[in-house]
A and B are shown apart, each in its own frame.
Chain A
Amino acid sequence: MSTEVKPVDIGEYKYGFHYPDRSVYKTQKGLTEQVVHEISDHKEEPEWMREFRLKSLQAFWMKPMPNWGADLSELNFDEITYYARPTDRQSRNWDDVPQEIKETYERLGIPEAEQKYLAGVGAQYDSEMVYHNIHKELEDKGVIFSDPETAVREHPELVKKFFGTVIPPSDNKFAALNSAVWSGGSFVYVPPGVKVDIPLQAYFRINSESFGQFERTLIIADRDSFVHYVEGCTAPVYATDSLHSAVVEIVALEGARVRYTTIQNWSSDVYNLVTKRGVAYDNATVEWVDGNLGSKRTMKYPSVWLMGDGAHGEILSIAFGGKGQEQDTGAKCVHTASNTSSVITSKSISKDGGTASYRGQIKVEPGLENVKSHVECDALILDPNSKSNTYPYMDIQSDDVSIEHEARVSKISAEQLFYLMSRGLDEAEASLMIVNGFLDPLVKELPMEYAVELNRLIELEMEGSVG
């Protein structure tokens, strides 16, 4: 089998390799109603979903591009392929996955991670999930972990009840786009009282060039349940741009807790424009841990709607804006019930002329009592060419509200470097130590494996950046 694997240079983007495009089916470039019909046909969907898509397409066409955030002026919707089917079937066994696709995931370390510390894995290659598996005991307890297509077929009542309710297609242009052409992603349902104590992970890989990946994830945590879902993403390095525009909806019913961790590491030609939102009912908790490395442009503001008494929302966001990159990330919490609390912690690093912006919003609806919110954003700028911005918005309509907001921008100071170097560390190691130190309070929140992964990614980003 011929594989054209690009050599991997240490210090460069490590996942920039690709295999030949062997899609079994692809729509033609550009977006038309015809493309939407083809996707729907391929998935043999019920009519209601086809209609949902077509309506969403209209919304996409109607909606203007955002006139704020990252610079998207070079994004050309006509140059993108919206659907590419890598294989005709999905497997529960890695050995049944086509060789090159399997090799890709092996190089990304997924099967190994699955063995060691995951309760279930989904692996998406371009438009489709090619692998999906979950521990038998969880399945026996009624936990559902599948792609959304399967859920549409097998659990239409659940899907119909929640799909597109947390993030309606009309929410924003990219949510509309995703709703029109979505393919792949995850569907998770955790029955009442069930705690999934080791993470489920989905891994999203783009292989094709000038491609758009539009996965759709819906997580429903029933009363008093718990689940930790982890998402990882990478793509090859091409000369042209790709688009990743996902929609992730989380529903945490009474007393449930959902933690969603993203370690995104896109190549530098991916536009990453993602809408993520969770709703937390009475005493429920939704937590987003969002690590944004790589990509050309990222616009992503995970949010929590605190809709029930005692609900809690927490967002930890890490962004690393390197050369040619613009990370416009942040968080949003909307309090619509009393006794709710939210905590937002953002850490951003910019280097080599990159930009990292924090954009956040806290909204408190009228007539509420005992609402608390704490926002903390720290930015570290590594060199004079790089930029950091902070855009905090507050819309507070109740009186009994305690809001704290702290923002700090720091630079790696010559004094810190001198101090560490006077103890024997060379400049590169001293800078890395300062950066890791900056992130430490956040990284500590991650499970060990992901903390290690994140530290390793930061190290790669930092390599070759100093003298």
Chain B
Amino acid sequence: MKLEIKDLKAQIDGTPILNGVDLTVEEGRIHALMGPNGSGKSTLANVLFGHPSYEVTGGEVLVDGQNILEMETHERAQLGLFLAFQYPVEVPGVTVGRFLKRASEIVRGEDQVKGAGFIKELRKNLEFMGMDQGFINRYLNDGFSGGEKKRMEILQMLTLKPRFAVLDETDSGLDIDALRIVANGLNRMRGPEFGAVVITHYQRILDYIKPDYVHIMYGGRIITSGGKELVETLEAQGYEWLRKEYGIELDEEEEAAYEHGSEAR
């Protein structure tokens, strides 16, 4: 699957957030997406999946040449796209097992997830994620700890077997073991028919994942792309370096976002 984002612009409540994003992900490749707080990374993820709060004001998103921006969220999922949420949502009363069975039926096809085989697979995936089997009968994300929610996202990815995934800060808030498990989860999916964008603030997960490309987002644009060396420079010098290096002129709003970003670091 090839994903092409071309000059994508989007706003929320009349505020422009994405100001022309260009990014192409070929299958078999893993891209890391970094950038200060508020630069628009989650917005990009949400827009890719058709979140109703965002309005696309320009550009296109092509999956194997087909524009998906007119599609409904569930249709995008059915194409094989998956989003690991930065803030997974609690759905009380819906058990993990029942939910994943149904979602798998939809995105993988009913014949793929029949009866006992599916439960076995789910159990294995839980084990792989270092999660207790009891999670099958727990309500989805309801009362989960922060780290458990993140693991649950990866468990869902392993179970739903998407062709393309966006992981939005799945590594934030994880202990060291969980971090490795999450990275292993992604590495397990890795292959010639799977592509991903991994949004993160930290080098650590990238050490495990070894992305093929690294992109930096800033003010709703991807301002530079490169390899692993980009991450190292960032870790060493922070986003201040970017401004100097790329001579970015910040307008007031961007200034605010930037300030916000450096505080949070």
Of the listed stretches B87-95, B172-180, B225-233, name the one at the interface; the rest are far from the partner chain: B87-95
A239 at the interface (CB under 8 A from B): no
A98 at the interface (CB under 8 A from B): no
Chain B residue nearest in CB terms to A436: B93
A437 at the interface (CB under 8 A from B): yes
27 chain-A/chain-B pairs, Cβ below 8 angstroms: A413-B89, A418-B49, A418-B52, A418-B73, A418-B89, A419-B88, A420-B91, A421-B74, A422-B77, A422-B82, A422-B83, A422-B85, A423-B99, A423-B106, A424-B74, A424-B78, A424-B103, A425-B74, A427-B72, A430-B74, A433-B94, A433-B102, A434-B91, A436-B93, A438-B92, A440-B94, A440-B139
Judge whether B93 and A441 touch: CB under 8 Å.
yes
- A423-B91 contact in complex given A418-B73, A433-B99, A437-B139, C-beta closer than 8 Å: no
1/0 per residue, CB under 8 A from A, across B99-141: the answer is: 1001100110000000000000000000000000000000100
Judge whether B93 and A437 touch: CB under 8 Å.
yes
Q: Compute how far the CA of A432 lies from the CA of B156 in the bound complex, rounded to whole angstroms.
A: 20
> Which of A413, A418, A434 gathers most chain B CB within 10 Å?
A418
Judge whether B89 and A419 touch: CB under 8 Å.
yes
Judge whether A425 and B102 touch: CB under 8 Å.
yes
Judge whether A419 and B78 touch: CB under 8 Å.
no
Q: With a CB–CB cut-off of 8 A, which chain B residues contact A424?
A: 74, 77-78, 103, 106-107, 160
1/0 per residue, CB under 8 A from A, across B152-165: the answer is: 00001000100000
User: Contacts A419-B88, A425-B103 given; 4 further ones with Cβ under 8 A?
Assistant: A420-B99, A421-B72, A434-B93, A440-B139
- A416-B156 contact in complex given A421-B72, A421-B77, A423-B77, C-beta closer than 8 Å: no
Closest 7 CB pairs of A and B: A437-B93, A440-B93, A424-B106, A419-B89, A437-B94, A421-B73, A424-B77
Q: Which of B52, B92, B103 contacts A423 (CB 8 A)?
A: B103
A343 at the interface (CB under 8 A from B): no
A414 at the interface (CB under 8 A from B): yes
Which label, helix, strand, loop or mixed, suits the secondary structure of the A interface? helix
Q: Compute how far the CA of A427 lies from the CA of B77 in the bound complex, rounded to whole angstroms.
A: 13
Using a Cβ cutoff of 8 Å, how many contacts connect chains A and B? 76
> Which of B82, B91, B106 gathers most chain A CB within 10 Å?
B91
Q: With a CB–CB cut-off of 8 A, which chain B residues contact A438?
A: 92-93
Chain A residue nearest in CB terms to B77: A424
- A418-B51 contact in complex given A424-B77, A424-B78, C-beta closer than 8 Å: yes
B237 at the interface (CB under 8 A from A): no
Judge whether B160 and A423 touch: CB under 8 Å.
yes
- A425-B91 contact in complex given A414-B52, A419-B85, A437-B139, C-beta closer than 8 Å: no
Chain B residues at the A interface, C-beta cutoff of 8 Å? 49, 51-53, 72-74, 76-78, 82-83, 85, 88-94, 99, 102-103, 106-107, 139, 156, 160
Q: Compute how far the CA of A418 lies from the CA of B42 in the bound complex, rounded to whole angstroms.
A: 14
Chain A residue nearest in CB terms to B104: A424
Chain A residues at the B interface, C-beta cutoff of 8 Å? 413-416, 418-427, 429-430, 433-434, 436-441
Judge whether B77 and A439 touch: CB under 8 Å.
no
> Which of B76, B93, B99, B160 gathers most chain A CB within 10 Å?
B93
Q: With a CB–CB cut-off of 8 A, which chain B residues contact A422?
A: 49, 73-74, 76-77, 82-83, 85
Judge whether B52 and A433 touch: CB under 8 Å.
no
> Which of A414, A419, A422, A437 gathers most chain B CB within 10 Å?
A422
Judge whether A434 and B83 touch: CB under 8 Å.
no
Q: With a CB–CB cut-off of 8 A, which chain B residues contact A433?
A: 91, 94, 99, 102
Q: Compute how far the CA of A188 lies from the CA of B182 in the bound complex, rounded to whole angstroms.
A: 60
Which label, helix, strand, loop or mixed, suits the secondary structure of the B interface? mixed
Q: Compute how far the CA of A427 lies from the CA of B74 in the bound complex, rounded to whole angstroms.
A: 8
Q: With a CB–CB cut-off of 8 A, which chain B residues contact A414?
A: 52-53
B48 CB, min distance to chain A CBs, angstroms:
10
Chain B residue nearest in CB terms to A419: B89
Q: With a CB–CB cut-off of 8 A, which chain A residues contact B52?
A: 414, 418
Q: Compute how far the CA of A441 lies from the CA of B85 in the bound complex, rounded to whole angstroms.
A: 26
Q: Compute how far the CA of A430 lies from the CA of B49 in the bound complex, rounded to whole angstroms.
A: 16
Q: Compute how far the CA of A413 lies from the CA of B91 in the bound complex, rounded to whole angstroms.
A: 10
Q: With a CB–CB cut-off of 8 A, which chain B residues contact A415?
A: 89
Q: Which of A416, A425, A439 contacts B106 (CB 8 A)?
A: A425
Chain B residue nearest in CB terms to A415: B89
Q: Compute how far the CA of A424 lies from the CA of B159 in the bound complex, rounded to whole angstroms.
A: 13
Q: Compute how far the CA of A418 lies from the CA of B106 in the bound complex, rounded to whole angstroms.
A: 16
Chain B residue nearest in CB terms to A410: B92
Chain A residue nearest in CB terms to B45: A422
Q: With a CB–CB cut-off of 8 A, which chain B residues contact A423?
A: 74, 77, 99, 103, 106-107, 156, 160
Chain A residue nearest in CB terms to B159: A423
Q: With a CB–CB cut-off of 8 A, which chain A residues contact B103?
A: 423-425
A124 CB, min distance to chain B CBs, angstroms:
34
Chain B residue nearest in CB terms to A413: B89
Q: With a CB–CB cut-off of 8 A, which chain B residues contact A426?
A: 72, 74
Q: Compute how far the CA of A422 lies from the CA of B156 in the bound complex, rounded to whole angstroms.
A: 11
Q: With a CB–CB cut-off of 8 A, which chain B residues contact A437?
A: 91-94, 139
Q: Compute how far the CA of A423 lies from the CA of B90 in the bound complex, rounded to whole angstroms.
A: 14
Q: Compute how far the CA of A414 lies from the CA of B139 in the bound complex, rounded to whole angstroms.
A: 19
Chain B residue nearest in CB terms to A416: B89
A438 CB, min distance to chain B CBs, angstroms:
5
Chain B residue nearest in CB terms to A441: B93
Q: With a CB–CB cut-off of 8 A, which chain B residues contact A418?
A: 49, 51-52, 73, 89
Q: Compute how far the CA of A440 lies from the CA of B137 in the bound complex, rounded to whole angstroms.
A: 12
Q: Compute how far the CA of A427 lies from the CA of B89 in the bound complex, rounded to whole angstroms.
A: 16
Q: With a CB–CB cut-off of 8 A, which chain A residues contact B102?
A: 425, 429, 433
A162 CB, min distance to chain B CBs, angstroms:
39
Q: Compute how far the CA of A422 lies from the CA of B83 in the bound complex, rounded to whole angstroms.
A: 7
Q: With a CB–CB cut-off of 8 A, which chain A residues contact B106?
A: 423-425
Chain A residue nearest in CB terms to B46: A418
Q: With a CB–CB cut-off of 8 A, which chain A residues contact B160?
A: 423-424
Q: With a CB–CB cut-off of 8 A, which chain B residues contact A430?
A: 74
